[in-house]
Amino acid sequence: MRRSVLKNLRGLLTPDPRKAWVVDRIPGAAVAVEDGRVAWIGTEAHLPAAWADAPVVDGGDAWVTPGFVDPHTHLLFGGDRSQEFNRRLHGVPYTQIAAEGGGIRETVRATRTATVAELVAAGEARLREMRDRGVVHIEAKTGYGLELEAESRLCEAYLELKAKGWSLDVTLLPAHDIPTEFAGDPEGYSRLVAEQWLPELVHRFPGLARYCDVFIETGVFTVEQGRRIFQAGKALGLQARVHADELSWTGGAELAAELGGASADHLMFCSEAGMKAMAASGVTPILLPTTTLFLGMRDWAPARKMIESGCRVALASDFNPGSSPCLDPLLVLRLGCLQLRMTFEEAYTAMTLHAAQSLGRPDLGHLHPGAEATVLLWDVKDPLEWVYWVGGTFRPRTLN
């Protein structure tokens, strides 16, 4: 049994998994750790006698927190879209660029020509940057291959990243867009994905993916086509995460609830019925405010209404080359507070506890007993500074 006590902490900040939206702040805290798990938290003055002889780790007067969990990323892709971004700055809409064959399809071209080694190298650089900013676990999607072999190479790259020790959950997203080979035939493509590609990818990479996703949007896939793919996924043991109601209302949130999905994501145009359905069925709404910012949209997701409807809202980066080239969890937190009108405690819970819950990880996103002891140390007077010093750079220290 390996035991230690983390002492000399300015404070401890953690959501409480037993109470909705409650964030505990313990000044002068100590954390007792046994075999990599949190065994006890409280004030140093109240450390139980049983821990008196355990080896001490010095926290250096920092605030200790759990790591951030990012439950929606498109980690792996080739190329970038800085030129397209500049066209948007000159007034060309995102939807027009997509209609002209750019957008997601531009990244698909670059991803199809990338080798597995190139994808892994790019993925590691991005994961390192996220880790240095406090992210300890992510969800990561395929979806820039849009053909079986290219989607398969993305799975191979994720397998390699996991083997290198990166903590990530994989989501299959071959229905991220309609590939040029199937232009005008989303029906035929959605059948191919449901009937052949998902089973084949699961067969080639057993146990790799836990989820599947579909971009349900006007001009992309309909709710019916999404339902077909998600049902095929369910039969293969993949739970649904849905790109839903991002640019218009399509009923994606309602579909996620109907299917008992893990999450519905984006939701700028979510209906009130969709919010109620998600609350009732335990679907996590995952809001992606850096996407709203980067697309220059005015329609921020209705976080307050969702919270009032009883939803356990989570926040994520949506890291991708087109609508959110952002690896910074603190920008997501800041926009959660400043644009989605969440309190600091709500936005923080959304990026830790609720993000982890959407990925079925009760051991992440908090520091109550039983949690994984992947702790971060922050040299701040108070964690509120992350948002208050709005352009500030904050990097946590880790113990290993």
Of the residues 66, 71, 103, 302, which one makes contact with ligand NIG according to CB under 6 A: 103
206 token code pair: 């057993």
Strands 23-27 and 68-70: unpaired
In the complex, minimum distance from the CB of residue 132 to Fe ion, in angstroms, rounded to a whole number: 23
What string marks each residue from 148 to 177 as x (binds ligand NIG by CB under 6 A) or -? Answer: ------------------------------
321 binds ligand NIG (CB under 6 A): yes
Of the residues 291, 317, 352, 357, which one makes contact with ligand NIG according to CB under 6 A: 291
Question: CA 184, CA 141: separation in Å to the nearest integer?
Answer: 24
Question: CA 11, CA 61: separation in Å to the nearest integer?
Answer: 8
Of the residues 215, 221, 230, 386, which one makes contact with ligand NIG according to CB under 6 A: 215
Question: CA 55, CA 390: separation in Å to the nearest integer?
Answer: 38
Nearer to Fe ion, 155 or 287 (CB): 287
In the complex, minimum distance from the CB of residue 209 to Fe ion, in angstroms, rounded to a whole number: 16
In the complex, minimum distance from the CB of residue 290 to Fe ion, in angstroms, rounded to a whole number: 11
Question: CA 181, CA 192: separation in Å to the nearest integer?
Answer: 12
Task: Determine the Cα angle at 314 with ends 366 and 103, to 5°.
Answer: 130
C-alpha distances (whole Å) from 105 to each of 198, 280, 361, 374, 387 are 20, 36, 33, 38, 35
Q: What's the one-letter identity of residue 94?
A: Y
- Report the residue number whose CB is nearest to ligand NIG: 322
In the complex, minimum distance from the CB of residue 165 to ligand NIG, in angstroms, rounded to a whole number: 27
246 binds ligand NIG (CB under 6 A): yes
Nearer to Fe ion, 213 or 372 (CB): 213
3-class state of residue 70 by DSSP: strand
Question: CA 209, CA 95: separation in Å to the nearest integer?
Answer: 30
73 binds, among Fe ion, ligand NIG, none (CB under 5 to 8 A by kind): none
In the complex, minimum distance from the CB of residue 175 to Fe ion, in angstroms, rounded to a whole number: 12
Nearer to ligand NIG, 7 or 74 (CB): 74
320 binds ligand NIG (CB under 6 A): yes
In the chain, what's the furthest Cα-to-Cα distance? 70
- Residue 67 DSSP code: P
Nearer to Fe ion, 139 or 318 (CB): 318
76 binds ligand NIG (CB under 6 A): no
Of the residues 26, 38, 39, 104, which one makes contact with ligand NIG according to CB under 6 A: 104
CB 76 within 8 A of CB 160: no
User: Which residues of this chain interact with ligand NIG, rule CB under 6 A?
Assistant: 103-104, 107, 215, 243, 246, 291, 318, 320-323
